[in-house]
């Protein structure tokens, strides 16, 4: 409740500061227009919904936000993109859809709008703008929120003197937050134990998201990147079946079998986080926006007991969504007015204060934001060191292929090398004829 009161107060101060600085409402050139926006059912969408009344008051533009799950968004968008006039004026685009949407020429270039509004795109962290902004020299999106991955860990567990002594006695080194994949596996297995003496493990070194889908791919990608692996070589030959790829998958299976809940093969990110929120795990690889939830005592039993670090090995999975205007948008000018407002400093800051995940430097470094979320410097480092999926039209299919093979290996017992050999074979077919690959 304390955080909610603080957020309300700071929001009011942000709005007051805007008025004091002489920021006047935009001209109501599109007054009376209604725009439709398709968004994912995540926390940042809820924060935008809370801020929409201010946009309508400033511009006279009404906003309808349709909220769908991740997989439903992609299915809904495709027929809208190929229609002469679609239903949506603004869409949010996941990083692995950028190549598909741009390659098919479904998104409106934003250069003219950016120039007319004098919108400064240099405020974005370069890694975010490279992933969710410009493609081959043309700007099709503006970054919305990041979901870059890092390591959340329990500070009380790593500070426990009994565990510290036990670990040092067993391994000859201090118990510390792991900085390599090998240490991550070792520490996770050590912390997994029966804490109440009933003969059953009830505390886990890690909680994982291993349900078949984007989550299991992300779990593996964090380990792959930290081991120095990548999806393709410079000639676009698939390399996921390299020694680094196989080692990453073998480590993920080891963690599942010896340090994670048995039910993790059915977990997506929320079920994974629930294990942490209930106080039953020491670590998890998760998204940058998760710490705000874990520190909320209304949602979490470990509020105040977690911290964030760069993924073990130094390179986590880059993640983010961007704002775009479809070529089929009924009201592109009003759509840009919305994007120009929602990505302004004041609105991005207000969303960050509510718990959102920014992509602008100036919001990350704002004193009021840092007072609420002092770990934002860690997220900046996570974003700077993380790796995205490759930019090409088949990126989403690539993730689906990998998710299937990873799942068959973790849950179905398929040999890791065989699983990644099969994935690599299909990935080589994906790049043939891709318009974004020169």
Q: Tell me: the pLDDT tens digits for 131-158?
A: 999 999 999 999 999 999 999 999 999 9
Measured on CA atoms in the order 119, 122, 126, 130, is the torsion positive or negative? positive
3 state DSSP class of 44: helix
For the cut 70, the answer to whether the pLDDT of residue 17 exceeds it is no
What's the mean pLDDT when you consider all of the chain?
Answer: 92
Question: Which of 13-27, 211-225, 394-408 has the least mean pLDDT?
Answer: 13-27
Query: Which pLDDT score is estimated for 27?
Result: 61
What pLDDT does 5 receive? 44
More confident residue, 132 or 13: 132
Report the distance separating Cα 240 and Cα 5, nearest Å: 48
Burial class (CB in 10 A: 0-12, 13-18, 19+), 107: buried
Question: What is the per-residue pLDDT for 118?
Answer: 97
Residue 33, token pair as written in the block: 């227009």
Among 16-25, 85-94, 145-154, 284-293, the range scoring the smallest mean pLDDT is 16-25
The DSSP H or E segment spanning 287 is: strand 281-287
> Which residues lie across from 134 on neighbouring strands?
139
Q: Please, where are the H alpha helices in 173-227? A: 181-191, 214-226
What beta strand segments (E) does 262-360 contain?
A: 281-287, 306-309, 320-324
Contact 320, 145 (CB under 8 A): yes
Q: Is the pLDDT of residue 96 over 70?
A: yes
Residue with tokens 């997994």: 192
With a pLDDT cut of 70, the percent of the chain lying above it is 94
CA 151 – CA 236 distance, rounded (Å): 30
Q: Beta strands of 288-388 (E only): which ranges? A: 306-309, 320-324
Inform me whether the pLDDT recorded for 127 exceeds 60.
yes
**The pairing of beta strand 281-287 with beta strand 204-206:** parallel
The gap from C-alpha 374 to its chain's centroid, in whole angstroms, comes to 19
From CA 240, how far away is CA 421, in angstroms rounded?
8
Question: What is the structure's pLDDT at 293?
Answer: 87
Structure tokens at 281: 């795990």
pLDDT at 321: 96
CA dist 369 and 306 (Å) reads 19
When pLDDT is averaged across residues 232-253 and rounded to a whole number, the result is: 97
- 317: exposed, middle or buried (C-beta count within 10 Å: 0-12, 13-18, 19+)? buried
């Amino acid at each position: 409740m304390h955080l909610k009161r603080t957020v309300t107060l700071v929001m009011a101060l942000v709005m007051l500061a805007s008025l004091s600085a002489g920021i006047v409402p935009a001209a109501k050139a599109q007054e009376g227009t209604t725009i439709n926006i398709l968004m994912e059912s995540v926390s940042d969408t809820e924060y935008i919904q809370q801020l929409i009344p201010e946009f309508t008051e400033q511009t006279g533009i009404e906003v309808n936000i349709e909220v769908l799950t991740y997989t439903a968004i992609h299915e809904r968008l495709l027929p809208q993109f190929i229609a002469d006039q679609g239903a949506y004026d603004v869409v949010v685009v996941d990083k692995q859809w950028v190549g598909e949407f741009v390659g098919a020429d479904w998104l409106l270039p934003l250069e003219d709008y950016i120039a007319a509004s004098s919108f400064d795109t240099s405020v974005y962290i370069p890694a975010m703008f490279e992933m969710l902004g410009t493609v081959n020299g043309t700007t099709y999106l503006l970054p919305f929120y990041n979901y870059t991955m890092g390591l959340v860990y329990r500070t009380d567990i790593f500070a426990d003197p009994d565990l510290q002594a036990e670990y040092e006695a067993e391994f000859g080194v201090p118990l510390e937050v792991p900085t390599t994949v090998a240490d991550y596996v070792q520490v996770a297995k050590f912390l997994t134990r029966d804490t109440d003496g009933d003969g059953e493990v009830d505390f886990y070194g890690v909680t994982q998201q291993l349900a078949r889908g984007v989550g299991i791919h992300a779990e593996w990608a964090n380990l792959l990147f930290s081991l120095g692996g990548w999806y393709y070589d410079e000639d676009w030959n698939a390399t996921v079946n390299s020694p680094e790829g196989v080692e990453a998958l073998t480590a993920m299976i080891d963690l599942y079998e010896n340090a994670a809940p048995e039910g993790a093969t059915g977990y997506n990110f929320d079920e994974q986080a629930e294990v942490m929120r209930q106080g039953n795990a020491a670590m998890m690889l998760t998204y940058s926006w998760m710490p705000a939830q874990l520190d909320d005592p209304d949602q979490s039993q470990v509020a105040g007991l977690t911290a964030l670090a760069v993924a073990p090995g130094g390179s986590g999975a880059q993640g983010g969504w961007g704002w775009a205007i479809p070529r089929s948008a009924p009201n592109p000018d009003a759509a840009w007015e919305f994007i120009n407002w929602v990505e302004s400093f004041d609105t991005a800051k207000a969303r960050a204060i509510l718990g959102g995940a920014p992509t602008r430097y100036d919001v990350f470094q704002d004193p009021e934001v840092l007072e609420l979320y002092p770990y934002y410097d860690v997220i900046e480092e996570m974003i700077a060191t993380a790796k995205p999926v490759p930019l090409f039209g088949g990126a989403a299919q690539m993730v689906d292929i990998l998710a299937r093979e990873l799942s068959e290996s973790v849950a179905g017992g398929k040999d890791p090398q065989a699983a990644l050999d099969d994935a690599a074979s299909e990935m080589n077919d994906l790049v043939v004829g891709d318009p974004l690959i020169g």
